[in-house]
Amino acid sequence: MDNVNLMNQHVMGHELELEQPKSVYSVLATYFNNAEKHGLYVKGYIDGENTFESFLQEFNAVCKTKFIVRTSWRKSSSAVARHSRYGREERVYWEYNSGNLEVPFTGVPFVVRSCLTKHCQYGSHYYKSTAERLTKQFVESQHDSTVAPPEMKKRRNKPSKKRDCPAIMHIREIVMFPAYALDLERMFDTKYHVRQEKTNLILKLKQELAAQAREDQDACSQTLLNETQRFYINVPLPEVHIGHPQPCGGIGPTIHPSVTAKIDDLLSHGIYDARHVRVIVHDYVREVVLNEDQNTVYPFNLV
């Protein structure tokens, strides 16, 4: 698992402040926090529902497609302070390792609010076509008198959008409680003391949630606790999409190899801030790359 090099596709383009089309990479770099690349997918998180919705709109736009909900589950907005439908208190996590999208340990307890799996609109069929269903029903009616033959209606022959595109997006929404965070700078004597501190914090949090639920059934919808809404997202890069009537946009122009190596070196030393990286890479291009390659035209064949 490597830290994703999202700045590779857009960081240099900002230097001349030119109005250039957005790419998948620039959208990810704008919205994603702690982005990580796994093969041809990028995982990160976004805080706040409005910011999350803005990301989805821009991401769909640059991909020239839409992602359709395939599977989903969601707890009610007031489920945090109430009993779940299974008759147990809402479970509070420090980390979440189940399913297809993990939530890492950050020192802040949280509850899982929802989970979505979205497929590209040009993905596979989820059900049999009308022609296949009618044919099956007709064949069955010929051999079984209890099965009525299908009603043949005049239908408009509308071509399907489905083209077996494998691109999938996973989304997990959580609600965090920073007021009950574990002090990561505190020196604990043993792992037992760490577990004990976690248990005490969760107990206090559950007591507070239960108290609010008793006082007002709608307490959580009013966000009385200090809550942070966070969305963990795993999205496909343009290379994953296949079969689209138009190429998935946002691949962006080619970057000079030495610029890619420089950005990788900065990331390996823990320098992730996009503005900081841009300043360093800008100076590097001016002082090193252009001097080494006199045929280079800055910045267009570097970014």
Residue 251: per-residue pLDDT = 47
Instruction: Spell 150-188 as b/e; 16+ CB within 10 A means b.
Output: eeeeeeeeeeeebeebebbbbbbbbbbbeebebeeeeee
Distance CA 24, CA 150 (A): 46
Q: Which residue has the higher pLDDT, 216 or 103?
A: 103
Note whether residue 297 is domain-resident. no
Distance CA 154, CA 267 (A): 61
Residue 3: per-residue pLDDT = 47
Percent of the chain surpassing pLDDT 70: 60
- Mean local confidence (pLDDT), 249-261: 62
pLDDT digits (tens, 9 = 90+) for 152-169: 555 555 555 665 688 889
Q: What strands lie across the sheet with 168-176, from one edge to the other?
A: 2-3, 33-38, 41-47, 228-236, 168-176, 110-120, 67-74
Residues 218 and 82: beta-carbon distance below 8 Å = no
> In the predicted model, what is the mean pLDDT of the chain?
73
Note whether residue 302 is domain-resident. no
pLDDT band of residue 216 (cuts 50, 70, 90) is low
Q: 44 lies in which domain range?
A: 2-292
189-198, 200-209, 238-247: least confidently modelled range: 238-247
Tally of domains in the chain: 1
Question: What ranges make up the beta strands (E) of 224-280?
Answer: 228-236
- Mean local confidence (pLDDT), 10-32: 64
Residues 302 and 262: beta-carbon distance below 8 Å = no
Residue 298: per-residue pLDDT = 46
Residue 276: pLDDT over 60: yes
Q: Find the largest Cα–Cα distance for the chain.
A: 85
Torsion 17-237-63-68 (CA) sign: negative
CA nearest 231: which of 6, 120, 74, 15? 74
Q: Which residue has the higher pLDDT, 273 or 178?
A: 178
Distance CA 205, CA 210 (A): 9
User: Can you give the pTM of this predicted structure?
Assistant: 0.63
Note whether residue 7 is domain-resident. yes
Q: Which residue has the higher pLDDT, 8 or 284?
A: 284
Torsion 115-236-251-245 (CA) sign: negative
Torsion 271-277-281-284 (CA) sign: negative
Distance CA 71, CA 172 (A): 12
Torsion 37-8-60-161 (CA) sign: negative
Note whether residue 301 is domain-resident. no
Please report the DSSP string for 129-148 in residue order: -HHHHHHHHHHHHHH-TTSP
pLDDT digits (tens, 9 = 90+) for 101-149: 899 999 899 999 999 999 888 777 665 555 666 677 667 777 776 766 6
Note whether residue 28 is domain-resident. yes
Residue 174: pLDDT over 90: yes
Note whether residue 299 is domain-resident. no
Note whether residue 276 is domain-resident. yes
Return the C-alpha torsion angle 62, 66, 72, 74, nearest 10. 60
- Mean local confidence (pLDDT), 232-237: 92
Note whether residue 303 is domain-resident. no
